[in-house]
A and B are shown apart, each in its own frame.
Chain A
């Protein structure tokens, strides 16, 4: 195009040096305006009709042109419950997707704009007065013959550019989907982690409360109690972090989905099981990745572009700039005849450019080879890692956790026979909880790696069944003793026991009174020591309650527990009043 313009300029310069022209510019302008107006009208109408959109077809991201839908581009209020739904929301409503599509649309328009266009033919009319009354009239029509060759070649280049732009936008969208998948996994995992932390905090809180009861009875030392209190406070810290992590994970997911801020926290994402894992064969995975890896595909589009540019330059540099003119000149008689003019390609002025193009083509191939090698190694790493993680999870799910659960049940039997105490029993449950954390962490690693592998394979993550990690907790998350000998049973047993003649007997009451006396006396000393150490009366006496109330934020899951702990000091105050009365001999 530039070449044509330059040639025209040279042609006009030639005319101006010889004759004065007046009509030609006017005609050219009118002609150009008319054609341009037609093209613009055509473009406006297509803009209103078509829209660039993206869709997922057979696991592939595809950019399409479709009818404009009035409802598009509005923020989505959908809260997807499956990854498939999330993908759909992402493709239709994500601001990120919209932005990429728009960018592609712009590129597309630019390419369309550049596509084209043979140079307009030149038309020249002229009348010149010479010496005396001689008059010279000129009619000239010109057309650049080189355009017949160069324009189709340039258009082919633009097709490649379009292909590259399309591959790039599909890569961008695919990577967006991978990001969505990872955000989906992270949201599910962090939700499970939060739930587990809540359970753990509740458990350690109850244990610290029991420890406070033992301390108050004078049966354990402050040092023993403080260790349990510290465990509870640490659990609260971890709960806070888990809550923040879950919030952050949902926030990122909501951001990707274009969910309004007001509702993103309502997103509920499951954590997936890895039970369906099948060992992967590296070579097969790599072969499929070579075919479908989006990054590879995008990079590979540079090869034909570079080849095309090089080839074009290779033969075009020797082409003379040819122009054909039909000239009619009448002065005394009529003279007419065609004129062909052009450059003489004597010197190879594009030799370095050709070298550069060749290197570019070579580099494009090397980049593809390099990327293929990287992909092969990355797939190897991921396949090994996935198999290892699947094995870790299989052992955790089917061996370690059931064993620990059984161990906890057996330790419970020991506690029932007073072979261990409840605090030792609690250690077993804490081990179980830590193993559940391991399960959740390993599940997260597994699915993030699966997402990375899918990314390499150019495919989308396959959805899996929900992992019911709570199944490994005795009685489930809520501690419901269904199917196990549990609390409710014991409630009944306590009632049975109350019917026995020991309860309410004068003997027992007498001993209880003695016990209170003893406990009250001891604990007063304990309080004094605690006061000296901490400078706070409650610090030693009711550390669980004090620590909890001081450190806890208003989180729903712990509220009931906190309420209970808040009431505890009152109950204890009452108890100590009774004790005090009893101790006054």
Chain B
């Protein structure tokens, strides 16, 4: 059956009612006609969409709809997503599968879904107006195609894209190879990088912002709310990274040299793997990285410094180095609440916030947050940790807590006279 006729056949409301959508309610993950849901990929803070086998066709049902989303405790927004979440659930299938994906539109405007990076018939590509009519509010469309490739891919709307993506409509589409590689990773994670113009004090993302975003997220969460990547020592770990934000992200992992093992073109042959500690994931691109876990708590983040911050001001008068005079301190009486700070650097701000001295705008996270075992971590946004433990049971993905380093393996304060510094001189 051709794509066009399928669309016509399945756009009837009666057909959609035969395949009720799966929501994020875990109790609904398995229905009487559904195949056992055994996701291979762990979506940080997310979930995988179960499918139903209809003959030899895997049927998925996505519902585009508004969702209430929390980026981290203290910041939430009315976003748009799929099946109750942003990002939408990860779709997993196997190379060679025939997939049938129902898409119901519960948004207040029309939408489509583009299967980003997937080889398929033109009519299934999901570009509204070009490859298909728009899915009007209340309508259900169906997409059906055979997966002729494997690798890490994404899905997102291709209708009023700026608004709908800015509101959080996106998801991962992972196609496993029909013939698994000789040594598959022990743990397989995926995340989608995104940016949000959720202005301090507001509750809905602003789609008109081009570059000055407020929140930088992995799977629509900011540090410290992003789940850690958890592994046991010596395990092979893969992290699949997609980027549907408006910026490139140099993703950096501490503690190891990872191999880049795949990209938009799918999994690379081992001969093409390359070792890196930072890999730029461009806008609209995907990258797979793999490494062998070594014990410790390792930072994993975008290396654009302001992408590991939460909402911050622009064009501020720089306070660093400003010695506030006594007469200027009069302002603290005339502007109750104002406190000069930042002379020594902006960490002072994070410290005051952590100590509860400052109250910020509602629904806003401080620029720098997070308390580690040794003090404030002073980051935000696209930061999480790779937590590797020797004794982690197989199948445990929950946060194992802070790493306890062996004695003598933590940097410490010493008497500076022990090592007089050398400085450049004439």
Contact = CB atoms under 8 A, between A and B. Distances in A.
A501 B78 CA distance: 41
Contacts of B416: 506
B377 to A, nearest CB: 14
A575 B323 contact: yes
B334 A429 contact: yes
B367 A417 contact: yes
B324 A210 contact: yes
Interface stretch (B56-64, B255-263, B343-351, B383-391): B343-351
A487 B324 CA distance: 14
Contacts of A212: 325, 328
B334 A199 contact: yes
A303 to B, nearest CB: 63
A475 interface: yes
B327 A561 contact: yes
A86 B422 CA distance: 81
Contact of A214 (B322, B334, B352, B355): B322
B322 A213 contact: yes
Q: Which of B324, B346, B349 has the most CB of A within 10 A?
A: B324
A356 to B, nearest CB: 72
B322 A217 contact: yes
Nearest to B324: A213
Interface stretch (A188-196, A243-251, A376-384, A508-516): A508-516
Interface string B344-367: 111111011101011111001011
A508 B325 contact: no
Contact of A209 (B313, B327, B366): B327
Given A217-B323, A219-B321, A419-B200, A478 B333 contact: yes
A513 to B, nearest CB: 11
A202 B330 CA distance: 8
Contacts, number: 195
A489 interface: yes
B182 interface: no
A236 to B, nearest CB: 15
B335 A219 contact: no
A544 B327 CA distance: 10
B336 A486 contact: yes
B25 interface: no
A490 interface: yes
Contact of A475 (B201, B324, B333, B426): B333
A422 B321 contact: no
A518 interface: yes
A413 B317 contact: no
Q: Which of B316, B325, B353 has the most CB of A within 10 A?
A: B325
B336 A487 contact: yes
A493 B357 contact: yes
B346 A479 contact: no
B353 A417 contact: yes
Interface string B400-425: 00000000000000001000000001
Interface residues of B, number: 52
Contacts of A213: 322-325, 328
A486 B312 CA distance: 23
B268 interface: no
Contact of B344 (A214, A423, A502): A502
A543 B364 CA distance: 38
Contacts of B366: 417
B37 interface: no
Given A217-B321, A497-B348, A413 B359 contact: yes
Contact of B325 (A417, A423, A487, A568): A568
A496 B352 CA distance: 9
Interface in B199-222: 200-201
A203 B334 contact: yes
Contact of B339 (A493, A508, A565): A493
A416 B200 CA distance: 12
A519 interface: yes
Contacts of A487: 332-333, 336, 339
A508 B201 CA distance: 34
B360 A417 contact: yes
Interface in A537-573: 544, 561, 564-565, 567-568, 571
Q: Chain A contact residues (Cβ within 8 angstroms of B): what range? A: 35 or more
Interface in B296-352: 311-313, 316-340, 342, 344-349, 351-352
Contact of A210 (B311, B331, B347, B351): B331
Contacts of B346: 418
A585 to B, nearest CB: 7
A414 interface: yes
B335 A568 contact: no
Nearest to A564: B327
Contacts of A418: 312-313, 316, 342, 346, 349, 367
Given A422-B331, A490-B357, A493-B357, A412 B338 contact: yes
A425 to B, nearest CB: 7
A481 interface: yes
A302 to B, nearest CB: 61
A413 B361 contact: yes
B338 A415 contact: yes
Interface in A199-228: 199, 202-203, 205-207, 209-210, 212-214, 216-220, 224
B328 A210 contact: yes
Q: Which of B326, B328, B364 has the most CB of A within 10 A?
A: B328
A95 interface: no
B38 to A, nearest CB: 44
Contacts of A218: 321
Q: Which of A422, A484, A519, A544 has the most CB of B within 10 A?
A: A422
A567 B100 CA distance: 79
7 contacts: A203-B334, A206-B329, A417-B358, A422-B317, A487-B332, A502-B347, A567-B327
Interface of B: 200-201, 311-313, 316-340, 342, 344-349, 351-353, 355, 357-361, 364, 366-367, 416, 425-426
Given A203-B334, A210-B328, A421-B316, 18 more contacts: A203-B335, A206-B334, A219-B322, A220-B318, A412-B338, A417-B364, A419-B312, A421-B313, A421-B317, A429-B334, A474-B337, A479-B335, A500-B351, A564-B330, A568-B325, A571-B326, A575-B323, A585-B426
Interface of A: 199, 202-203, 205-207, 209-210, 212-214, 216-220, 224, 409-410, 412-423, 425-426, 429, 474-475, 478-481, 484-487, 489-490, 493-494, 496-497, 500, 502-503, 506, 508, 511-512, 515-516, 518-519, 544, 561, 564-565, 567-568, 571, 575, 585
Complex A-B, nearest 8 residue pairs according to Cβ-Cβ distance, in ascending order: A479-B333, A564-B327, A210-B328, A417-B360, A416-B358, A206-B330, A486-B336, A481-B336
